[in-house]
Chains A and B, each alone.
Chain A
Amino acid sequence: MSNRTLSRRDFLKLASAAILTASGLLGLEGLFRFLNTQTEPLPPTEFDLGLASNYPPGSRTLLPDIPALLLHAQSGYSAISLVCTHLGCSVESKPEGFACPCHGSRFDPQGNVTRGPANKPLRSLRVEVTSDNELRLYTT
């Protein structure tokens, strides 16, 4: 069994190598995080609404997360955006149509303006029935 001692030179060499390795790992971790930075996702423009059979004929379904109102009429599925065309607040569904809580715009049940300041009707949104008989709504 040999009794080896670390020379000063070897110690400095070893310490430098260890510190440089740690620095390299730390730098790599920072580089990895930088390269993996994800930009904030844009708001979704497509929404899966589940089975079409969940929305029976004649139904009016509020979809607050979009926000939109899904209608199932005899002519098929349609949707109205619940984003006010004045400044973008979410309008509220009322018996007489829709009302914007921010600036008081009113819309009839079809989304037409009945009181300003909005001067454009609520947007109609595209709704598709997929081959799996599911509904997909598009906001753009």
Chain B
Amino acid sequence: MRRYFLLAASISLLLGLLITAWQESRHPKPIALTPTLTSQVEYCLTCHADLAEISSSHPVNTFGCVICHGGERLALEANLAHSTMRGGKNPSDFSVVQASCGGSNCHSGTAENSRDHIQRATTSIQATYAGAIANIRYTFGVQPDLKAVLGVFAIRVPESTSAITELAAFNPTQETNPFVQAFGQNCLTCHLSALPLPGSECIRFTGCSACHTPTQFPDRTDTTQIQSNQIHKLTTAISYTQCDTCHNRGNYNLRTMTFEPRQDLPTNRLHDYYQPIAQFTSCEWMLDCVDCHTRTEAMGDGNLYSVKKDIQYLQCKTCHGTLNDLPQTRTLTDPNDLAFRLALLNPVIDLKLGDTLLITEKAEPLWNIHVLPDGTYELFGKADGQRYVFRPVKGSACLQDPVRQDSGSCHQCHSVER
């Protein structure tokens, strides 16, 4: 009996060792990478060597993977390697963005160096949703005015130069008004921390990647392609389709306090860009949103605001001027001008010292718009590189009242018919 037991134990031991050896042999041969920035070996490329470089600003040989994504850098087993990743597939989610993308040389530097991206993005009205929350609470009599006091998360900006220095967290369950409660339950889907609405046209990441990681839509009617269409990329060449993963997707119904997706199925850009009810000019649908709207308008300026119009300030006259004035310009004389950095990140234009650009009323460079010697302007599309030439209003037969520069006034003559 003892000998049978000994034989069985021996067989068990051998089997255990064989299984261990077999499992060991299944591990791929590690591919090591020692990024310049960390000088720490990581084995991520063992499985992810086929991933495209995420951007020219983040080469894998310099950054590696772990400094942004987290994870167990020496693990070869997928579950273990991914167990400590920040934000799952998306290290730019605002819950982890500081650890993933922060650092004084990266995206949480100073405003003077234009490296305060995280501060600006997390305080922007697209992140706080403060304007919508204030509007609904004011509409239903919960607060006395439209000044924002709540955001989707609490945030303090003591040095804010706007009228607001802090927002408390909006908690729908603490609201007494049923409409505000319903708003909280049904309508908090369009801020940068919210998961996207259902539907392939709404697919996006959260955080910075909501805008900067493109979703490709080869066939918008094929919902099976959704997951495979978010690509490993960070870009400032942001197509209008990325903006439209949140914008122009439908309307809020104030009676039912629900979001009602648009029912039309756009088949081309003219119909896709804006909802059927919208008025817009030719440049508003032929260009991409980022061709006109600046980084400050989209990402904020680090202050807290109540309404979109406090931060979104561009008008038609910014590019076209008025009957009395040409648009503002700046000739590049400083090699550290922000325009050079923006043009480097999205090289649709080769900027040189001495070039004259349009600038906004807040002196932000419209770096993709040149002044040509004949007094016209040339714009290069940031998303597609396409060249457009346009004229100033001054000296034209335009019938505008120079004082009235709201888009509605320009749309009276320049609106596109669909």
Report which A residues bind B (CB closer than 8 A): 9, 12-13, 15-16, 19-20, 22-23, 26-27, 30, 39-40, 42-43, 83, 86-90, 101-104, 106, 114-117
Contact = CB atoms under 8 A, between A and B. Distances in A.
Interface stretch (B35-43, B120-128, B184-192, B297-305): B35-43
Given A12-B4, A27-B17, A19 B11 contact: yes
A115 B14 CA distance: 65
Size category of the B interface is 35 or more
B400 interface: no
Contact of A30 (B13, B21, B59, B106): B21
Interface stretch (B145-153, B209-217, B230-238, B334-342): B334-342
24 contacts: A9-B3, A13-B3, A19-B14, A20-B10, A22-B14, A26-B14, A26-B21, A30-B17, A30-B20, A30-B21, A39-B41, A40-B32, A40-B34, A87-B106, A88-B62, A90-B61, A102-B62, A103-B341, A103-B344, A104-B344, A115-B336, A116-B113, A117-B115, A117-B341
Contacts of B412: none
A30 B340 CA distance: 57
A114 B36 CA distance: 23
Nearest to B106: A87
Contacts, number: 79
Given A9-B3, A16-B10, A102 B336 contact: no
B14 A102 contact: no
B169 interface: no
Interface of B: 3-4, 6-7, 10-11, 13-14, 17-18, 20-21, 32, 34-37, 39, 41, 56-59, 61-63, 105-106, 113, 115, 335-336, 340-341, 344
A30 B105 CA distance: 45
Contacts of B17: 23, 26-27, 30
Contacts of B34: 40, 42-43
Contacts of B6: 12, 16
A23 B13 contact: yes
A36 to B, nearest CB: 14
Given A12-B3, A87-B105, 18 more contacts: A12-B4, A16-B6, A20-B13, A26-B18, A26-B21, A40-B41, A43-B34, A83-B36, A88-B62, A89-B36, A101-B56, A102-B56, A102-B62, A103-B57, A103-B341, A104-B344, A115-B340, A116-B336
